[in-house]
Structures are given as structure tokens and as C-alpha cells.
């Protein structure tokens, strides 16, 4: 149930309708409230401040009509500008970035501001009565409508600036890089259940693992799709309640096929239809990956931007180098974090959940492999990759992390010798490789 709430909230945050709908509802409530309070408030404000609207019914109707018409027109212009930005981002930087634009709170608030002002003026307009014996002009409400129109003009000016900035490649890359760093801060270190240990930790004895492999039985997925959310606390509670050990076969970001094993349960004879339903309820599937629990998704977004920039049709190595810089920034933070343990225990130190975890070498492979493959003929990108490895080398403290960086430095150096025709470019790459490998060896010599 909790993962479905997370999934629904993530979908709502990525929509263009939710925040504008909330703001439109607030505008409707404001219109009814101001009209109800209009008579006493108008008299008080007119006497005290003298700044409320004092025209007649005809003037109020014309004013509100003009504001409402202009607001709905501007809302259409804003929507068109948003679609142009989405189309540009999709064609040049990748379709997976559309979700980032749709989650942009500024765009949602701008659309909501114009729709809310339109609805407010429309609802106030319907309360104006021109009959002499029953005339009513909501002076305070009309005044507030004028103020909302002034605010909307300021919002429009800001939105034009915001769109101009948000479609710049460096700004998009920085936004994705910030999302990646926030994901690292959120997921590392990670703890499912109470008293979870960090790596390094001793795995269960070989006898138990052998017994688990022989006696555990699978629970298949109820549907197809990308694994978006896993309710770790729910799985821990379920394992304690049923007195079983659960091993996750898939992690967030993996594609799950219906009926294929989602988890393994030990003892296998404890599986019931109710347990199957509860296990599937702890996993949320969707048509696309999300970055909330999938750190590799944000890495893949930066990699996609980089390899598109390296394509012959775009030939933009500067954008690719910007992506490499942000990947290096994220890897520096990740190298300093404790990796979560795959073995999760309850309060009695009883093993309950075994789960696949992200490791620094895996994230490094995701970050560098494709950029190295597509950028081997670009001296500038190759050199920036080696410089980034040298920077990250100053943050690593685990031997397996240093080995992963050194392995990538060697592959980059070998690729450059085959992909760069100019000898001096190869010498420059070789010099950067020697610097990076020397730093990694020095770190290994000074480590524990």
C-alpha cells in the first residue's frame, strides 16, 4: 500500500494538472469568500485607504472580462512555450528528460497562476448585477482581480526568463546532476529494518546459503514493468510476521517480467496465497524508471546527454565534458559513503531480508562505459575522463573502488591509442593516464 502511495505521488508531481488544479480550487474558494465579505470590507477599505475599485457595474464587468480573456490567452501561450521546450529537450537531449521538465514546479505554478486568475475573475463577474433596484458591484473582489492581473504579468515576465534559462544544455545537465547528488544523499547509506549493518559485514555461513539455495521457493511478479519502488520496511515486517527469510531477485530500475521470480522465500513451504499478495504489494511497477530509489537512472540521464552530444549530428564535446564533470562530482560523494549491507536483520539480530545493492564499481561502469566507447575518437572528452578519474581518486578509500577506477583508466588509455590518429593527442592522453594511475597507486599505498 505504501509503495502505491509513493508511486501515485511521484506521478502527481510529474503532471501539469495537479498544482494548477489546486491553485484553481483555491481561486474559486477565494472568489466566494471575497464576494461574501465584499460589502463591509469595501466600505472599510474605501474610508480607511481609498484604493478599492469605485466604478459601476458596467466598468467592473468590462474590467473583469478583459482580465479573464487576457489570462486564458496567456495561459495558451505559456502552454505553447512549454511544449516547444519539451520538444526541443526531447529531440536534442533525450526523451527521458521530459519527466524532469514536467516536474518543474515553476512551470506548474505559472500555468496555475493564469488559470486561477481566469477562474477568479469569471466567478466574480457572474455576481455583478446591473438592475437599479438590486444592483451589486463587488468592489473589493474587483480590486483583488486587478492585483492578481498585475501579479500575473510579473509571473509571465519571470516565466519567459525561466524558459530561456531552463533549455540551456548546461542548466539541464546541472539540474540532472543535482538530482543525482540528492539521490546519493538519500540512498547512501541505506537501511531497511532495524539495526542494519554496513559493508563490510560477514555474510551468513555457507551452510545456510546452501540450504537457502536448495529449499527457497520463488514468488513471481504479478505484472510487467520497471521496478520503481520497494517497500523495504514492509518486507521486513512481513518477514518477521511470517518468520521467513526473503531474498530480493530484482532491484529498483530492473525490468520485471510477469510470473518471473521477484523474491525467494525460505522456508519454501511457508508460501501461501496471502503471502504472495503481500509480497507483490510491496513492489510498485511502472512503464518507466524513476530516480527515487534508482540511482543509476540519474546516471543514465547524464550519460544519454553526453553520448547524444558526441553523435556526428550534434558534435558537441563541450556538453559531453560538462556531463563528465557532474558524474565525477557524484562519484566523489559516492566514494565517501558507506555502502548498504545486502543483509538486513531484525531487532533480534535475525537475518530477514537479503537484497541486491548498488556498489561504487557498478555505478562507475554505468557512468563511464558508454561515454568511453562513444568518445574514444575525441581527445578532449578522453582527457576529461582521465582528469575526472584523477579527481575521484582523491576520495576513494576502498580497494575495490580504486581497482574499478584504475580499470576504467586503462580502458580509456587503450581506446585512445586506437581511436586518436594524432600522435601528440595520444601522448597527452598517456600523460593524463599516468597521473591518474599514480594517484590511485598512492591512495592504495596510504590506505589501511
Backbone angles phi, psi at 387, to 5 degrees: -65, -40
Question: Is 190-315+337-358 CATH 3.40.50.450?
Answer: no
Model confidence pLDDT, tens digit, residues 416-444:
988 888 889 899 999 999 999 999 887 66
DSSP state, 338? P
| pLDDT recorded at residue 195 | 41
| pLDDT recorded at residue 43 | 57
Q: Under a CB-based contact definition with an 8 Å cutoff, are residues 26 and 112 in contact?
A: no
| pLDDT recorded at residue 238 | 92
The residues, ordered by sequence, that sit 6+ positions from 164 with a Cβ below 8 Å of its Cβ are none
| pLDDT recorded at residue 41 | 60
In this structure, are strands 245-248 and 351-354 parallel, antiparallel, or unpaired?
parallel
| pLDDT recorded at residue 94 | 76
**Alpha-carbon dihedral of residues 407, 413, 419, 423, nearest 10 degrees?**
-170
Q: Under a CB-based contact definition with an 8 Å cutoff, are residues 389 and 346 in contact?
A: no
Classify each residue of 411-448 as buried b or exposed e, where b means 16 or more C-beta atoms within 10 Å of its C-beta.
bbbebbeebbeeeebbebbeebbebbbebbeebeeeee
Task: Write down the pTM of the prediction.
Answer: 0.84
| pLDDT recorded at residue 1 | 60
Closest alpha carbon to 95 in 235, 289, 225:
289
Task: Kindly tell me the sign of the dihedral angle through the C-alpha atoms of 110, 111, 116, 121.
Answer: positive
> Could you state, in order of their start, the residue ranges of all structural domains in the chain?
2-167, 190-315+337-358
| pLDDT recorded at residue 44 | 57
User: Is the peptide bond preceding residue 436 cis, with omega within 30 degrees of 0?
Assistant: no
**Number of C-beta neighbours around residue 135 at 10 A:** 11
Model confidence pLDDT, tens digit, residues 384-414:
999 999 999 999 988 999 999 999 999 999 9
| pLDDT recorded at residue 374 | 92
Using 50 as the pLDDT threshold, list the residues of the chain that sit under it. 49-51, 190-200, 448
Whose grid coordinates read 481609498? 50
The distance from CA 43 to its chain's CA centroid, rounded to whole angstroms, is 50
Whole-angstrom Cα distance, residue 287 to residue 293? 15
**In the Cβ-directed half-sphere of 177, how many Cα atoms lie within 13 Å?**
21
Amino acid at each position: 500500500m505504501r509503495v502505491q502511495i509513493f508511486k501515485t505521488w511521484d506521478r502527481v508531481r510529474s503532471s501539469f494538472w495537479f498544482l494548477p488544479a489546486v491553485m484553481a480550487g483555491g481561486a474559486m474558494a477565494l472568489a466566494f469568500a471575497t464576494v461574501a465579505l465584499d460589502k463591509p470590507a469595501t466600505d472599510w477599505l474605501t474610508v480607511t485607504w481609498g484604493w478599492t475599485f469605485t466604478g459601476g457595474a458596467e466598468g467592473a464587468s468590462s474590467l473583469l472580462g478583459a482580465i479573464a480573456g487576457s489570462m486564458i490567452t496567456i495561459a495558451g501561450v505559456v502552454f505553447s512555450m512549454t511544449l516547444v521546450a519539451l520538444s526541443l529537450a526531447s529531440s536534442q537531449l533525450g526523451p527521458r528528460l521530459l519527466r524532469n521538465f514536467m516536474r518543474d514546479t515553476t512551470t506548474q505554478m505559472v500555468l496555475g497562476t493564469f488559470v486561477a486568475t481566469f477562474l477568479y475573475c469569471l466567478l466574480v463577474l457572474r455576481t455583478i448585477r446591473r438592475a437599479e433596484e438590486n444592483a451589486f458591484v463587488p468592489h473589493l473582489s474587483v480590486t483583488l482581480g486587478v492585483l492578481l492581473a498585475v501579479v500575473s504579468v510579473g509571473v509571465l515576465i519571470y516565466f519567459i526568463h525561466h524558459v530561456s534559462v531552463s533549455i540551456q544544455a548546461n542548466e539541464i545537465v546541472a539540474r540532472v546532476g543535482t538530482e543525482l547528488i540528492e539521490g546519493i544523499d538519500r540512498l547512501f547509506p541505506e537501511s531497511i529494518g532495524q539495526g542494519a549493518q554496513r559493508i563490510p559485514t560477514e555474510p551468513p555461513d555457507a551452510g545456510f546459503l546452501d540450504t537457502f539455495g536448495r529449499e527457497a521457493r520463488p514468488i513471481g511478479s504479478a505484472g510487467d514493468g520497471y521496478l520503481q519502488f520497494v517497500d523495504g520496511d514492509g518486507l521486513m515486517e512481513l518477514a518477521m510476521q511470517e518468520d521467513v527469510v526473503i531474498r530480493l531477485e530484482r532491484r529498483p530500475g530492473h525490468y520485471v517480467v510477469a510470473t518471473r521470480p521477484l523474491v525467494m522465500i525460505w522456508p519454501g513451504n511457508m508460501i501461501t496465497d496471502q503471502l504472495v499478495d503481500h509480497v507483490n504489494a510491496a513492489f510498485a511497477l511502472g512503464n518507466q524508471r524513476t530516480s527515487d530509489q534508482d540511482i543509476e537512472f540519474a546516471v543514465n540521464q547524464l550519460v544519454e546527454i553526453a553520448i547524444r552530444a558526441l553523435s556526428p549530428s550534434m558534435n558537441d564535446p563541450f556538453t559531453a565534458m560538462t556531463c563528465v564533470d557532474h558524474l565525477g562530482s557524484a562519484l566523489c560523494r559516492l566514494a565517501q559513503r558507506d555502502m548498504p549491507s545486502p543483509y538486513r536483520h531484525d531487532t533480534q539480530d535475525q537475518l530477514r531480508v537479503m537484497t541486491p545493492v548498488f556498489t561504487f564499481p557498478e555505478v562507475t561502469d554505468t557512468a563511464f562505459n558508454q561515454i568511453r566507447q562513444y568518445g574514444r575518437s575525441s581527445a578532449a572528452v578522453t582527457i576529461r575522463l582521465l582528469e575526472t578519474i584523477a579527481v575521484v581518486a582523491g576520495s576513494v578509500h576502498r580497494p575495490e573502488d580504486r581497482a574499478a577506477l584504475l580499470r576504467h583508466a586503462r580502458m580509456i588509455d587503450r581506446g585512445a591509442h586506437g581511436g586518436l590518429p594524432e600522435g601528440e593527442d595520444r601522448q597527452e592522453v598517456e600523460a593524463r593516464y599516468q597521473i591518474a594511475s599514480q594517484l590511485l597507486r598512492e591512495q592504495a599505498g596510504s590506505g589501511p
